[in-house]
Structure 1
Amino acid sequence: MLDRIKASLSSLAPAEQRVGRLVLSDPRAFASLPITELASRSHVSKPTVVRFCRSVGYDGLSDFKLKLAGSVSEGVPFIHRSVDVDDKTGDVLVKVIDNTVAAFLKYRNDASPLAIEKAVVALLAAYHTGKRIEFFGVGNSGIVAQDAQHKFFRLGIQSIAYSDGHMQVMSASLLGPGDCVVVISNSGRTRDLMDACDIARKNGATTIVVTATASPLAMAGHIHLAADHPEGYDRYSPMVSRLLHLMIIDILATCVALRIGPKLQPLLKEMKNNLRNKRYT
């Protein structure tokens, strides 16, 4: 959570930056002090303290302090450790699992319910009005996009996934107001995805980006779902990032399913019954 605040600091207004620096200087004290004292120590107004919390992706001061207290007191029990060429099988097993667990716990502490809620509302609006829902990603993120399309398809939601840059640009060119596109990227710096996101947004579609904080893509979408982790891009295949993105898609799909409500149950039951013949007894 503190890394996320540090990365976002330069993009905030000067007054909000002062609040951010106070958080970074003594997070434990920030989590326990009343808003009047926080405003006084930051030399800002009380509304500015609340605006800071919302600018970094939280519902307000209470939500921010709750997540901050959890992050500081609990922390993440594992430190990201790279897999080395001389690692034994047991070492690889422990490192991969520990890195994944650490990333999931960090996301639990850092995630913005407000941003997720905005994404869910946008997806539901597109669904209820019969507009298009699309998922874009390349490489490993392209696989996540396909998984997202599969999950939403099972909910009876017409959607499509594209992992080819040309198809993404062409499809983005056909999107319009009310349509929704989810752009998934580990680095947030892929040119094809940036181009497609810009085109979709220019045409009036709602753009949801699942990517790293402070990346170009993070600032290009309407709604940013931060997916931050310490995994580098230069060694082996991205592991933690893909699993983190899949979990975020699971959260979105679950929230959307719950909002659609009871009418989903007969559909899912019929689908399950129709698939019985595909399995050995």
Structure 2
Amino acid sequence: MNGGLVRLREIIDHITASERKVAEFILNDPAKMIGLSVAQLSQLSGGSQAAIIRLCKSMGLKGYQELMLKVAGDLQQGGEETQGYQEIRPHDSIDTIIQSVSNNNIQSIRDTLKILDVATVTEAIDAMCRAERVFFYGLGASNLIAQDAQHKFLRINKTSFSFTDPHLQLTSAVMLTKGDVAVAISYSGETDQVIGALQTAKESGATTISITKYGNSTLSTIADIPLFTCSTENEIRSGATSSRITQLNVIDILYLGVASRSYEHSVTYLEKSREVIKQLG
């Protein structure tokens, strides 16, 4: 059990001032909070006891004990196993850029693993296994993830769709039924067109899954099954970089989870698709 520090870092800009006092105290010296009662942490951090309980809820945890266990787990693994996210600076050498980009991508995947809930991922895979059709929705960089997902699932004979046109996304969402699954992908979780498609899919009776950054967002609130990723984007990036890597990683987890449930079936169709593609040279 770990991931307490990642969760705190991801939500710190979206919580109340009193909650932030507690979060900053823990992040600055995580070892100091281990073994403290709620009252003791309140006194040392300057945040109220009620704020500590609210902070745990903001993190999606059952209570203070779970927060302490997750932070303790991080410490046992050597903190956050991180060199920290590295900013790209003006006139960096190519070697520095190679190292920085690669380290940031690796760190994003490590952080995402700490917040992915196994039970929720299992629920998503179960829903996709049962689905007659799977629709992937995303805009911009997230649409590239949706197209990649469609490509993967089609190759194991799971009927799948993705659309670049947001109007088509919305139109298709109206046509969904109880036997379908809609997967909405948005790093912010606040992309209006994707929110509209998922909300419509849910109203149509489909099971809905979201893939967003960790924390409360409109998209994750709508979804029946919210999945979360972690990454840090900075000002110089005109498009998603490490966030794209974490989204692809989650899609791969879902794809292989579905494929493994019907391994022989999946392998048969993978071989068929591989052969026909090979004929194209």
**TM-based fold match above 0.5:** yes
Amino acid in structure 1 at the alignment position of 2:117: P
2:248 to 236, 246, 249: 246
Aligned length: 264
Residue 274 of structure 2 is matched in structure 1 by 275
Q: Aligned partners of 1:18 and 1:89: how far apart in 2?
A: 39
Number of the residue aligned with 1:204: 205
Q: Aligned AA for 2:84?
A: F
Shift of 1:193: 0.8
Report the secondary structure of 1:210's partner residue.
strand
Give deviations 1:73-99, integer Å, cap 9, x for gaps.
234213231253x33322322221122
Sequence identity percentage = 27
Specify the SS of the correspondent of 1:103. Answer: helix
- Name 2:191's counterpart in structure 1: 190
Q: 1:82 aligns with which of 69, 74, 88?
A: 88
Is 1:93 aligned to 2:73, yes or no? no
The answer on 1:131 being equivalent to 2:132 is yes
| Deviation for aligned residue 1:222 | 2.6
Q: Call closer, same or farther: CA 1:233–1:87 in 2, change over 3 Å.
A: closer
- Mapped contact 2:155–2:269 kept (Cα < 8 A): no
Measured after TM superposition, the shift of residue 57 of structure 1 is 3.9
**Structure-2 separation of matches of 1:103 and 1:217:** 21
Q: For residue 163 of structure 1, what is the amino acid of its counterpart?
A: T
In structure 2, the partner of 1:27 is: 30
- Is contact 1:59-1:113 (8 Å) kept? no
Counterpart in the other structure of 1:112: 116
**Paired residue type of 2:249:** M
When residues 72 and 223 of structure 1 are mapped into structure 2, their CA distance, relative to the original with a 3 A threshold, is farther
Please state if 1:64 is matched with 2:70. Answer: yes
CA distance in 1, matches of 2:133, 2:76: 38
Gaps of 5+ in 2: 1-5, 43-47
Distance 1:56 1:252, change over 3 A: farther
Q: Distance in 2 between matches of 1:75 and 1:188?
A: 27
The correspondence for 1:237, drawn from 224, 236, 239, is 239
> Shift of the alpha carbon at 1:229?
1.9
Change (3 A) 1:77 1:25: closer
Secondary structure, counterpart of 2:189 in structure 1: coil
Q: Deviations over 1:155-213 (max 9, x none)?
A: 33222122320011011111233422111112323221121122122233222111123
Contact 1:7 1:214 in 2 (8 A): no
RMSD after superposition = 3.7
Q: Residues 135 and 162 of structure 2 are in contact (CA less than 8 Å); yes or no, is this contact kept in structure 1?
A: yes
Contact 2:156 2:259 in 1 (8 A): yes
Find the aligned partners of 2:151 and 2:273 in 1 and give their Cα distance: 17
Given the superposition, is the C-alpha separation of residues 274 and 193 from structure 1 closer, same or farther in structure 2, using an over 3 Å criterion?
closer
Structure 1 equivalent of residue 167 of structure 2? 166
SS of the residue corresponding to residue 222 of structure 2 reads coil
1:239 to partner: Cα distance:
1.5
Assess if the C-alpha contact under 8 Å between 1:218 and 1:224 holds in 2.
yes
Q: State the alpha-carbon separation in 1 of the partners of residues 35 and 75 from structure 2.
A: 11
- Structure 1, gaps ≥5 residues long: none
Q: 1:89 to 1:234 in 2, by over 3 A?
A: closer
Contact (CA 8 Å) 1:133, 1:180: kept in 2 or not? yes
Which amino acid is the alignment partner of residue 89 of structure 1?
I
Once the two structures are superposed, residues 78-135 of structure 1 have per-residue CA deviations (whole angstroms, 9 ceiling, x without a partner) of 3231253x333223222211221222222233x1315xx334324423533x433111
> Structure 1 residue 217: deviation in Å?
2.6
SS at match of 2:97: helix
